Amino acid sequence: MSGAHILLECLVREGVDCIFGYPGGVTLPLYDALYDHHIRHILVRHEENAAFAAQGYARTTGRTGVCCATSGPGATNLVTGLVNALMDSTPIVALTGQVAVKLIGSDAFQEADTFGITRSCTKHNYLVKSLADLPQILHEAFYVASTGRPGPVLVDLPKDVLYAQARYSPVSAIHLPGYKVFSEGHTGQIRRAAQLMWEAQRPLVYAGGGVILSGASQELRDLVELLEAPAVLTLMGLGALPSCHPNFISMPGMHGSYAANMALSNCDLLIALGVRFDDRVTGRLSAFAPHAKVIHVDIDPSEIGKIRNPDLPIVGDAKRVLGRVLKVLTELEPAERPRLATARQAWWSQIHAWQREHPLTPAVSASEIKPQHLISEIDRLSAGQAIVVADVGQHEMWAAQFIRFNEPRLWICSGGLGSMGFGLPAAIGAQFARPDKLVFALIGDGGFQMAIPELSTIATHSLPVKVVIVNNGYLGMVRQWQELFFNNRLCAVELESFPDVALLAAAYGLKGRTIQHPSELTPALEDAVREPGPFVLCVKVSPEENVYPMVPSGAAISEMVLGPPQPVAVPK
C-alpha cells in the first residue's frame, strides 16, 4: 500500500469518519487516496477553520477531531487553531504535508519548519521520516491527543512518505514509557478530601472543562446533592451540571454573577474540579477565595499549584476520583450528616440573598433590540437542548450568562485563547458531528467578518446551522474597555461597511435577513429555526450596551461593577 493508503487505514482503525481540510501540492497523494475512500473530507475555506471545525466536532462528541493542511502556508495557517485546542484541552490530530525528506532544510517550495513552529502549540508533534514509522506514530498521535489531559497532536508527513509503498501491518500496542496518565487519585488524599468536605461549613464546588472531558457530570451532580453544596461552573464547564439544577449558581469571574463571585469570596472550602484557576475567574489572586481551604482535582499534575497552592491536591481523572470520593463520603455519612443541616441552611440563605440582591436579568427595551434580549430569546428556543457555538466578545459573555445548558457538550466557545473567527467553523464541525441537533452559531459582527468564507462550506453541504450575528456595529468588547478604562476614546473599534446580510447570504445561495426592531425578534428567530436548511440572521442590537457585572482587571472578584455608572446629581 502507499503511505497515503496506510495513513487512511490507520484513521479508519481510529474510528475517524470525517476530516476537515484544505489540499495542496505535497498532500496530493493523500487526496488521491481520499478520492474513492469512505472517510469524508470536508473542504473548508481556510486551514485555520479546519482546525476550528475539528474542535467543534471533538467538543460535541468527545471524540478526536481531525484536520489536514498542506506544507508551508497551509501548516502555518493551522497555528491559531492548534493553540486554541491546546488552551481548551481539545483532542485533535492535525495532519500536515511536508516537502520530501531529502529536501527538508533546503528552503524548498512551500517548506516551513512545521515541526519547530508547532512544538509549543501542540501537546506533542511528530515528523514522520520513514513510512515504516507511520502506523505507530499515527496511533500514538490519537492516543496522546485523547488520553490524560487531551490536546492537539500534529503529524508532519513528507510527500515521499505518502508516495512510498510498503506492506501494511497493524499496530498491536502502544508503549510510551515517558508518558504517564494518572487517573485514580491517591487513596489517602481521597479520604482526607471526603473528610474536609463533610467538615466544611461553607463548601463551594468550582468545576470546569475537565469535568466535561472526563464525562463526570453524573458524579458532579451526586457530589453537590450529597453535600448540599452550591456549585459554580467556569466558561468551559457550562453544562457539566444542568443549568436548571438548584445547586448551580452561575459562571464566576470577570463577567460572572454577583452571587457566584460572593460565594467564591466567602466559602471556607473550595472543591476545584478540572479547573485551572484562570485569571478571568480569579481576578486579583491574593483576594481569591481568601477564607477557603482548597481541594484541587486535576489530571494534569502541572496544573496543581500552578496558580494557587491547594491544601489538598489530587492528581487524577475527575470521574474516577469523584467516584471514589463519593464512596468515602457515603461511608462517613451516618456520622457526619447530623452536623450538616444548620450550617447549610445559613450558607444557602446567604447565597439566595446574594442572588436576590443582584440577579442576572436580561435587559429589554421597546424601541431597540437589547443584545441580552436576543440571547434570552435564543435560550427560550433552545430550552437547554440546542448546541450553541459562540465566537468571542460581548455576545459570548451574554450567552454564558443567559443561555441554559441542560447537558454537557452543548456549549462550545474559544475559552482560553479567545480566538475571534472560531464560532462559525466550530459550528460547522458541531453540525457535522450532530446532524440531529439544532445548532446556533452566535457571532459578533467583527468575528463574523473573519469567517464569512465558511458560508460557502455551509452552502455546499446545506448544513442547517442557524447563524445569528449580534450586530452592534462595533468590536463591542474592545469598545467596552475603551469606554470604561480609556475615557471613551474609541479607537479602531467602529465596524463600518457591514455587508447587507440578505444579499450576502443570497450570493452564497443561502437565506438571510436583517432585523432591528424588537417586534421582529421572536418571529425572525422562530422562522430561522423552522427553516430546514441554513439561515443567516443579522440582528441589529443597541450599539453601546456593556456586559455587567464586570470585575475590572486587577480587582478582586468581590469588587464587581454591577452596572453602568449612575449619573451623579450636580449640586445647584
Beta-carbon contacts of 180 under 8 Å, excluding residues fewer than 6 positions away, are none
Question: Is 394 a residue of the active site?
Answer: no
Question: Is 531 a residue of the active site?
Answer: no
Residue type, 51: A
362 makes contact with ligand TPP (CB under 6 A): no
- How many Å apart are CA 166 and CA 188, to the nearest integer? 51
296 makes contact with ligand TPP (CB under 6 A): no
Q: Which position among 394, 431, 457, 514 is part of the footprint of ligand TPP (CB under 6 A)?
A: 394
Active-site residue (options: 197, 397, 420, 477):
477
- How many Å apart are CA 205 and CA 270, to the nearest integer? 6
Q: Which position among 74, 252, 444, 549 is part of the footprint of ligand TPP (CB under 6 A)?
A: 444
Q: Which position among 447, 464, 512, 549 is part of the footprint of ligand TPP (CB under 6 A)?
A: 447
Nearest CA among 310, 321, 296, 328 for reference residue 194: 328
Question: Is 477 a residue of the active site?
Answer: yes
446 makes contact with ligand TPP (CB under 6 A): yes
Decide: 114 and 126 in contact? Cβ < 8 Å. no
3-state class (DSSP) for residue 488: coil
Q: Which position among 181, 226, 438, 478 is part of the footprint of ligand TPP (CB under 6 A)?
A: 478
By CB under 6 A, which span of 69-77, 243-251, 344-352, 412-420 interacts with ligand TPP?
412-420
Nearest CA among 243, 204, 210 for reference residue 224: 204
Decide: 16 and 145 in contact? Cβ < 8 Å. no
The grid coordinates of residue 540 equal 441589529
Q: Which is nearer to ligand TPP, 52 or 142 (CB)?
A: 52
Decide: 252 and 208 in contact? Cβ < 8 Å. no
- How many Å apart are CA 100 and CA 348, to the nearest integer? 65
The grid coordinates of residue 423 equal 464560532
State the nearest-atom distance from the C-beta of 302 to ligand TPP, in Å.
Answer: 25
Q: Which is nearer to ligand TPP, 262 or 539 (CB)?
A: 539
DSSP characters for 505-540? HHHTT-EEEEE-SHHHHHHHHHHHHHSSS-EEEEEE
By CB under 6 A, which span of 120-128, 319-327, 390-398, 430-438 interacts with ligand TPP?
390-398
474 makes contact with ligand TPP (CB under 6 A): yes
Q: Which is nearer to ligand TPP, 98 or 482 (CB)?
A: 482
State the nearest-atom distance from the C-beta of 481 to ligand TPP, in Å.
Answer: 9
In our burial notation (b when 16+ CB lie closer than 10 A, e otherwise), range 278-288 reads bebbbbbeeeb
Name the one residue in this structure whose C-alpha cell is 473542504: 43
State the nearest-atom distance from the C-beta of 388 to ligand TPP, in Å.
Answer: 14
- How many Å apart are CA 411 and CA 427, to the nearest integer? 10
**Other C-beta atoms lying within 10 Å of the C-beta of residue 571:** 4
Residues of the chain by 3-state class (helix, strand, coil), percent to 5: 45, 15, 40
10 makes contact with ligand TPP (CB under 6 A): no
By CB under 6 A, which span of 27-35, 94-102, 403-411, 468-476 interacts with ligand TPP?
468-476
3-state class (DSSP) for residue 294: strand
Active-site residue (options: 9, 14, 47, 140):
47
By CB under 6 A, which span of 191-199, 272-280, 348-356, 472-480 interacts with ligand TPP?
472-480
Q: How many residues bind ligand TPP (CB under 6 A)?
A: 20
Strands 18-21 and 65-69: parallel
- How many Å apart are CA 168 and CA 327, to the nearest integer? 47
74 makes contact with ligand TPP (CB under 6 A): no
What sign has the CA pseudo-torsion 351, 353, 356, 359? Answer: negative
392 makes contact with ligand TPP (CB under 6 A): yes
535 makes contact with ligand TPP (CB under 6 A): no
470 makes contact with ligand TPP (CB under 6 A): yes
State the nearest-atom distance from the C-beta of 495 to ligand TPP, in Å.
Answer: 6
Q: Which is nearer to ligand TPP, 180 or 489 (CB)?
A: 489
Q: Which position among 29, 203, 393, 549 is part of the footprint of ligand TPP (CB under 6 A)?
A: 393
Q: Which is nearer to ligand TPP, 497 or 566 (CB)?
A: 497
280 makes contact with ligand TPP (CB under 6 A): no
Active-site residue (options: 14, 87, 142, 159):
159
β-strand partners of 388: 411, 440
Q: Which is nearer to ligand TPP, 34 or 375 (CB)?
A: 375
Active-site residue (options: 102, 109, 225, 531):
109
Cα–Cα separations (whole angstroms), residue 194 to 190, 243, 271, 320, 324: 6, 25, 11, 14, 9
419 makes contact with ligand TPP (CB under 6 A): yes
State the nearest-atom distance from the C-beta of 498 to ligand TPP, in Å.
Answer: 10
By CB under 6 A, which span of 114-122, 343-351, 476-484, 560-568 interacts with ligand TPP?
476-484
Nearest CA among 24, 39, 41, 31 for reference residue 76: 24
Q: Which is nearer to ligand TPP, 91 or 421 (CB)?
A: 421
* Rounded (5°) CA angle 199-200-202: 160
By CB under 6 A, which span of 190-198, 457-465, 473-481, 498-506 interacts with ligand TPP?
473-481
The grid coordinates of residue 396 equal 459570548
State the nearest-atom distance from the C-beta of 475 to ligand TPP, in Å.
Answer: 4
Q: Which residues are catalytic?
A: 47, 109-110, 159, 477
Binding site for ligand TPP (CB under 6 A): 391-395, 418-421, 444-447, 470, 472, 474-478
